[in-house]
Amino acid sequence: MNEALGLVDTVMVFWSANSSKSPWVNTEWEAALTRRLRDDSVRVIPVVLDDTPLPPLLEPIMWVSIVDGDVDRAARELVGVDSQAELVKTMQRTVELSGLEYRYFHGFGVIVGCPRCGAPSSKLEGWSAVDHARDDMYAGVRCTECGWDEGGEV
pLDDT of residue 98: 85
Give the pLDDT band (50/70/90) at residue 23: very high
* Radius of gyration in angstroms for the set of CA atoms belonging to the chain, rounded to a whole number: 20
Report percent pLDDT > 70 for the chain.
97
Q: Does the reported pTM lie above 0.75?
A: no
Average pLDDT, the chain: 92
Give the pLDDT band (50/70/90) at residue 1: low
